[in-house]
Amino acid sequence: MGENYSSIWLVILLPLIGFVLQAFAGPFLQAKFGKRAVGILAVAPVAAAFLLGAQLTMALASRPEADRVLRVSGTSWIDIFGLSIPFEILVDPLAMTMVLIITGIGSLIHVYSTGYMAEEKDFSRFFAYMNLFIAAMLMLVLGGNLPMLFIGWEGVGLCSYLLIGFWYKDLANVKAANKAFIVNRVGDVSLMLAMFLITILVANSDLAKDARLLSYDVMLPILQKILTNDPAMATAIGLLLFGGAIGKSAQFPLYVWLPDAMAGPTPVSALIHAATMVTSGVVLLNRMNIVFQLSPVASAVICAVGAFTALFAALIAFGQTDIKKVLAYSTVSQLGFMFIGCGAGAYSTGMFHVTTHAFFKALLFLGAGAVIHAMSHEQDMRHYGKLFKYLPVTGATMLVGWASISAFIPFVGGFSSKEAILGSALANSHAGQLSQIAGWTGLFVAALTAAYMTRMTWLTFFGDKERWRDIAPSTHHDHDHHGLEASHQPKEVPASMWFPLVVLAVFSVGLGAFLHADHRFDHWLYPQGLAVLGKVKEEYPNLLLLSLVAAIGGTVAGFLVYRNGLPKNQGWDMAKWSPLRRAEAKQFGFDAMVTNVFVEGGAEVANGLNRGFGESIIDGAVEGSGTLASRVGDIARKIQSGAVRTYALVMLIGVVGIIGYFVYVSSLGGGR
């Protein structure tokens, strides 16, 4: 029945075609027709992919629940030694949910970018990378087998490198792009090892009757039967898969690339943090959930890492003064929540939070970009204050985003999805005692989230004064202030930038409540496995009250500290900050430690190997060969004296030697 959905290929091809057109025709169009034509050409493929994806999703939803997993076959790709890997697409609720998020929010970010990047000379190059990013992420979520997922997985890694380093003349951007690329390769190695191990298991199984061994419809049932009787192997595969997820979804200890990715343009931050790359790990865990169902040990590790990451990143967010860095660590923390849900065995709650988070985090990042744009690219919140009256649309939509992530209003924004995660962790026992510990940790982090987001909101839009007025004339144009002046008058951003904010704000308010009602999202995502995969096995007592106390308590605490603006002990002089605040600002020294150990330490190891092996052995062998050849030459040169009698003597000795050799060989033959 998959032939009815063959148009799903266009969902991937449209952004890919947009990339090709931008890469080869974009500069010509920009020169001939201006940036407006390039912007239309960039937005149209992604918007068309969204409309087509929405149509196919509605068609899928109209089918019976048991008939919502369809395979759309394509051309053959790899056929070798009985292994067949075709280009194929899996159309199911998980894939189509991500298609709507990627193309829907991606379209809005593209529209926003036409305004935000309007002054850029390389306008078409930027949108070429953006279109390719969307295409790669769609390949990741729609691919019907693990190798196709891996193509998309590596594709988004490449595109993130290109987009983070878009301003490649700035050394900070280049370093951030390299860091993202290298750190992600660590996680990718883990994912590759998991794929190799799965291939060996499935290929050697008597259950393998189809050559499409790595296609989900063939692979997952076989894996379930094999791993049911081999929990140790389930744990090994589960941990390797999670290792891949840690890299892409920025969990401890591989989170270090994500905050530095803020060096790229703000639309890139929104795309990476909200709708695409960082959700890859959660999608992978959901797609391969059978493995984790059969390994409570791997699930417990996921719970523990998710809870620690959520807490660690939330604490670090308090020490940041760059508005984008606050949101970056917020993303890391919220991803930790998603993994708590997956580790607790309630995989749909992780995807539920992916969905709500995509909207309010895109809103917050794009809103932050609007503030930065209005403040002459100043990103330090200590130079903000009372901006609401200058940026009413941006401010109002950002307040919606603040309420959504802080979750202090029942059933608004991320309240429902966060509550579902915490309830699953507290009430379920799939990951053992760690589920409950992760749940209580999550409640504490929910309070911290409300507090640091209140801090960001109040320092930006409210407070006692307009702090940029305090900038001394001598610092008007220094590097840190990006040209911000005391006489600066912020202005609301153009419609191309505030329109996406309004749309995202509307969805941020009502989407969570709509999906939560009657477990609507659970029934859509996992219609056949709600008991294990979808909902809380039993309602945790007073969960609603606990969630509200945490969120409201954090909000009130943040308001009380920052209601009058910036406290005196959090100004420009970090020496006056509290020891905890300074530690938070420096990520508790973890990033510096990683740099010292793996970058500088790696350089020392490389230099040592070069001295010990390269210089002594390799260079010694090369130099020794030269010396040997030189000495042999010296000996040969002495023989070449020019005396004819000497040459005749040497020839005579040679002839005698040859005759003697043949006589000796003949005597041996005669003896036998």
Per residue in 514-538, pLDDT (tens digit) is 998 888 998 899 876 544 444 444 4
pLDDT of residue 615: 64
Residues 318 and 410 in one domain: yes
* Nearest residue to 272 via CA among 410, 434, 162, 385: 162
Residue showing tokens 């270090």: 256
Instruction: Kindly report, residue by residue over 95-113, the tens digit of the pLDDT.
Output: 999 999 999 999 999 999 9
Residues 622 and 664 in one domain: no
* Nearest residue to 342 via CA among 150, 534, 88: 534
If one counts the domains in the chain, the total is: 4
CA-to-CA distance for 228 and 224, rounded, in angstroms?
Answer: 6
Section 267-282 average pLDDT:
89
Residues 88 and 228 in one domain: yes
Section 134-158 average pLDDT:
97
pLDDT of residue 250: 93
- pTM, whole model, 2 decimals? 0.88
Task: Assess if residue 540 is contained within a domain.
Answer: yes
Section 70-83 average pLDDT:
90
Of the residues 573, 597, 630, which one is the last residue of a structural domain?
573
Task: Assess if residue 13 is contained within a domain.
Answer: yes
Structure tokens at 250: 């920025």
* Nearest residue to 332 via CA among 343, 321, 324: 324
pLDDT of residue 638: 67
Task: Assess if residue 474 is contained within a domain.
Answer: no
pLDDT at 30 exceeding the cut of 50: yes
pLDDT at 232 exceeding the cut of 80: yes
pLDDT at 599 exceeding the cut of 90: no
CA-to-CA distance for 68 and 62, rounded, in angstroms?
Answer: 9
Task: Assess if residue 477 is contained within a domain.
Answer: no
Structure tokens at 476: 């008007």
Least confident of 37-46, 226-235, 279-288, 422-431: 422-431
**Amino acid identity, position 141:** V
CA-to-CA distance for 306 and 249, rounded, in angstroms?
Answer: 10
Structure tokens at 592: 């510096």
Residues 284 and 318 in one domain: no
Residues 17 and 92 in one domain: yes
pLDDT at 201 exceeding the cut of 50: yes
Kindly indicate the confidence band of residue 672, based on its pLDDT and cuts at 50, 70 and 90.
very low
Name all contacts of 70-77 with Cβ < 8 Å and 24+ positions apart.
70/1, 70/2, 70/5, 71/2, 71/144, 71/215, 71/217, 72/2, 72/3, 72/5, 72/6, 72/8, 72/9, 72/144, 73/2, 74/9, 77/147
pLDDT of residue 576: 83
Domain that holds residue 526: 296-469+488-573
pLDDT of residue 535: 47
State how far Cα 141 lies from the chain centre. Answer: 14
253: preceding bond cis by omega (within 30 degrees) = yes
* Nearest residue to 535 via CA among 412, 351, 333: 351
pLDDT at 443 exceeding the cut of 50: yes
Residues 324 and 202 in one domain: no
Mean of pLDDT over the chain? 89
Of all residues in the chain, what percent carry a pLDDT higher than 70? 91
pLDDT of residue 602: 63
Residues 520 and 457 in one domain: yes
Of the residues 573, 602, 622, which one is the last residue of a structural domain?
573
Task: Assess if residue 478 is contained within a domain.
Answer: no
Structure tokens at 327: 């949101």
pLDDT of residue 365: 96
Of the residues 270, 294, 318, which one is the last residue of a structural domain?
294
Task: Assess if residue 121 is contained within a domain.
Answer: yes
pLDDT of residue 648: 78
Residues 309 and 344 in one domain: yes
Half-sphere exposure of residue 586: CA atoms within 13 angstroms, side-chain side: 13
511 by Cβ neighbours in 10 Å (0-12 / 13-18 / 19+) ranks as: buried
Residues 526 and 551 in one domain: yes
Task: Assess if residue 476 is contained within a domain.
Answer: no
Instruction: Kindly report, residue by residue over 620-660, the tens digit of the pLDDT.
Output: 777 777 777 787 777 767 666 667 777 777 788 888 888 88
Kindly indicate the confidence band of residue 600, based on its pLDDT and cuts at 50, 70 and 90.
low
pLDDT at 290 exceeding the cut of 60: yes
Residue showing tokens 């910036």: 566
pLDDT of residue 598: 74
Instruction: Kindly report, residue by residue over 449-497, the tens digit of the pLDDT.
Output: 999 999 999 999 998 888 888 876 544 344 344 556 767 789 999 999 9
Residues 177 and 145 in one domain: yes
Residues 413 and 458 in one domain: yes
pLDDT of residue 481: 43
Task: Assess if residue 223 is contained within a domain.
Answer: yes
637 contact partners, CB below 8 Å, separation of at least 6: none
Name all contacts of 66-72 with Cβ < 8 Å and 24+ positions apart.
66/527, 66/528, 67/1, 68/92, 68/93, 68/527, 69/217, 70/1, 70/2, 70/5, 71/2, 71/144, 71/215, 71/217, 72/2, 72/3, 72/5, 72/6, 72/8, 72/9, 72/144
pLDDT of residue 657: 86
Residues 107 and 219 in one domain: yes
pLDDT of residue 647: 75
Instruction: Kindly report, residue by residue over 355-380, the tens digit of the pLDDT.
Output: 999 999 999 999 999 999 999 999 99
Structure tokens at 336: 């930790």
